[in-house]
Amino acid sequence: MTADLFADVPPQQRVEPIADGAVVLRQFATSEADAILRAIDTVATAAPLRRMQTPGGHTMSAAMSCCGELGWVSDTRGYRYQSEDPVTGTPWPAMPEVLADLAQRSAAAAGYRDFRPDACLINRYEPGAKMGLHQDKDEQDFDQPIVSVSLGLPQVFQFGGLKRNERPERVPLCHGDVVVWGGPARLRYHGVLTLKAGTHPATGPYRYNLTFRRAR
């Protein structure tokens, strides 16, 4: 008889402030991960993951899609939010309830009581993929936070200052981790280092990151 002594022990959820205005909710999404991944599959069936062009003519290494009223788009004309997917020419898929609900509960746990995202950007990283230091400033109201959810392989997040030249801190983000970025952290430079190869039971060779935004 080998009873599972830990069957009823909840995952190690912790709240870690990582900077003024930024809170990591470790393992906040772990119990919902499979439902979130099914929602990502549903979105990606209608709005395929694609590698976008940068205004400078490069191809991003992360594959992206969006759901919600607005989606973030990059091409040689610039960065913007728009209501249609340029690949299909149709509106982005609606934000699945499981995603909208998670975003709202995460923001509330960090003190933002009525966060109603109108855009969710889905990033999928394969080994070798990264995202260089940048600011998220295509949204209209910087008083609104951004909620990020990491799933699958771990990846090192880089968190810099308000100027590109400040040396970034490194924070590993793992399966189920949620981060809420608001207040003075909202316009800080950030990015992720190159994803190392591996296999995660839930996502295989990939890391997914969802970012929930209020674009308008």
101 or 169: CB nearest ligand MD3: 169
Is 186 a binding residue for ligand MD3 by CB under 6 A? The answer is: yes
**Interactions with ligand MD3, residue window 187-216 (CB under 6 A):** 188, 190, 192, 209, 211
Sequence-distant (≥ 6) Cβ neighbours of residue 25 within 8 angstroms:
13, 14, 15, 106, 109, 110, 177, 178, 179, 180
175 binding partner (options ligand MD3, Fe ion, none; Cβ < 5 to 8 Å by kind):
none
DSSP E strands in the chain: the ranges are: 14-19, 22-26, 63-67, 71-75, 78-82, 119-125, 131-134, 146-152, 155-159, 169-173, 178-181, 190-192, 207-213
CB of 11 to Fe ion, least distance (A): 26
From 87-95, 109-117, 161-169, 182-190, span contacting ligand MD3 (CB under 6 A): 182-190
Q: How far is the CB of 166 from ligand MD3 (least distance, A)?
A: 13
Cβ proximity to ligand MD3: between 9 and 156 the closer is 156
Site size toward ligand MD3 (CB under 6 A) is: 16
Among Fe ion, ligand MD3, none, what does residue 186 contact (CB within 5–8 Å per kind)?
A: ligand MD3
User: How many residues comprise the chain?
Assistant: 216
Contact call for residue 129 and ligand MD3 (CB under 6 A): no
Burial class, 95, CB count within 10 angstroms (exposed 0-12 / middle 13-18 / buried 19+):
buried
Could you give the strand order of the β-sheet that contains 22-26, starting from the edge strand earlier in sequence? Answer: 14-19, 22-26, 178-181, 146-152, 207-213, 119-125, 63-67
Binding region for Fe ion (CB under 5 A): 136
Binding region for ligand MD3 (CB under 6 A): 121, 123, 131, 136, 146, 148, 157, 179, 181, 185-186, 188, 190, 192, 209, 211
